[in-house]
A and B are shown apart, each in its own frame.
Chain A
């Protein structure tokens, strides 16, 4: 009764194919956007910005990117960290060569550079699938991190090998660097995430998304109906890498400010957590990318609060427990709900539709 779609008739294909076809979803989404754009910027503080909101937004973008490749096109990738590093280092190099360029443009160009790198590492996908492709993308992860570590040109020959962001402004307000106010970094990420999410959703519900899913579900049949496998797979690699590259650029420029490649873009700090996000959130679901990112970003904070502040464990013990709980959660999710949180949400909607009746 709460989530009732009865009486909402669609009289055109356009309204039937809308992103939010139901009135309830439209209201929920508008409320969310209202809160995100008009309330949070006024109440945000540094803790919420650095610990929750900005990492959530950035990892949502990375999760959308990986979901396009793995969830929609069926090509498993473990190279997310490497591709995010490409985005970060592109941003750094462009910043040093073009000091006056707008930060938004720099970040989008970084995304395009990452897309080009993604195409190159996507080439083996025509010949290999599944586990073997995962290992090939793992190679890209190690190669890219090694490259940014070994070639001093990438970090401008600095002694530490670190790259540090310089201050850039949007409309006169700094969005990168130590002086950037919380609301500015948050809004900057939010605008990019909202715009790029809509773009991704539009791609998924039109020709490109259907080609990806066709390749994912049955590549032979896809070829027979005229979907070119190489072109389609490479387009998924390119667009996925674009999103991951933008996420990497934001991760470096807006979120961390200074990074060291082996530490910040390690397989254990980026590639696996982002893969967890889309598995926990839901493969092949936009909503799942956000839910997964929110889950992975907030879980350690919640666990730390529970174990250190409430129970009184030492921080080190709590950290060990956290890793164990992670492993456990992954196993539980894969067994109990392989379609992730997005599936749980659609089951909940089904229940709300019928409530208070059992069926």
Chain B
């Protein structure tokens, strides 16, 4: 299995293409025949009402769910499913709808876990902790400190994340994903439960990551104002089916999308 290399794809070309993805849990059809593509370097939003299958879609992309049918074309290679470890190794990072941080560890340690895949020294060397291991540790610490700087997390570096307020936890989780230096960042409702200022901060972080680091962003979000403002392209799901896709202004005027959100009257 050759490790697909997202880095080699030029910007604006397809990074991930999902073809006719269906996912069922027993009789429950979470996704039916969904196809879309994510281009490298864009901010791509997945929207839809509750239970539309948005999070399931992200779980399919990073290999946590295995689709019942369909193929995932990942950086030019067709496969029927992803593996979480392969996804992480090829540069896909994600955050979760319900924060999934390591609550007993400090902010710094949480961010350092984002570097685990890139630390190569074996456990005997770690146990002795001599030159090369200490050096490796410092290199990764420096990368993590840059993320801490970027997200303004300096003051909570040593605080166990379990005791942080919700908004900060969301930010630490973004930090952990950024520490992986991902090519593609999957954000599952990064702004849920935030007030306007926090949403603005978060939007700024997302856009900066996209502009400066050229990271491709796949975003699930319920706040339409945010989605319309920051995303380049949007796909809309409803009851596990794709009901629309395109530029924000197309989505805004899409009849099916408006019906899904506002409901249709019978007469």
In the complex, which residue of chain B has the Cβ closest to the Cβ of A216? B104
Assess whether B126 is in contact with A225, with CB atoms less than 8 Å apart: no
A221 CB contacts on chain B under 8 angstroms: 96, 100-102
Contact assessment for B85 and A210 in the assembled complex, using a CB-CB cutoff below 8 Å: no
Option from B94, B102, B114 in Cβ contact (under 8 Å) with A213: B102
Rounded to whole Å, the gap between the CB of A211 and the closest CB of chain B is 6
Chain B contacts of A224 at CB under 8 A?
A: 62, 64, 84, 87-88, 94, 100
Chain A residues numbered 15-41 whose CB sits less than 8 Å from any CB in chain B: 17
A220 contacts B100, C-beta separation under 8 Å: yes
Report the interface size for chain A: residues with CB under 8 A from the other chain.
Answer: 31
- On whether the beta carbons of A225 and B180 are closer than 8 Å, the reply is yes
Which of the segments A82-90, A137-145, A156-164, A200-208 contacts the partner chain? A200-208
Query: Smallest Cβ distance from A252 to chain B, in angstroms?
Result: 25
**Given known A-B contacts A224-B62, A225-B93, A206 and B116 have beta carbons under 8 A apart:** no
Q: Mark B107-125, 1 if CB is under 8 A from A, else 0.
A: 0010011101101010100
Contact residues of B between 62 and 114, Cβ < 8 Å to A: 62, 64, 84-85, 87-89, 93-94, 96, 100-105, 109, 112-114
A200 to B123, CA, bound (A): 10
B102 touches A217 (CB 8 A): yes
Instruction: Across the interface, name the chain B residue whose C-beta is closest to A220.
Output: B100
Is A91 in contact with chain B by the CB < 8 A criterion? Answer: no
**Given A213-B104, A213-B105: A223 in contact with B137 (beta carbons within 8 A):** no
For A248, the chain B residues whose CB sits under 8 A away are: none
With A13-B141, A213-B102 as contacts: A226 and B88 at CB distance below 8 Å: yes
| B126–A208 touching, CB < 8 Å | yes
Contacts of B117 in A (CB 8 A): 225-226
A227 / chain B contacts, CB cutoff of 8 Å = 113, 116
A232 → chain B closest CB, angstroms: 10
A235 touches B88 (CB 8 A): no
- Roughly how many angstroms separate A167 CA and B211 CA in the complex, as a whole number? 71
Residues of A whose CB lies within 8 Å of any CB of B are 12-14, 17, 199-200, 202-203, 205-208, 210-211, 213-214, 216-218, 220-228, 235, 239, 284
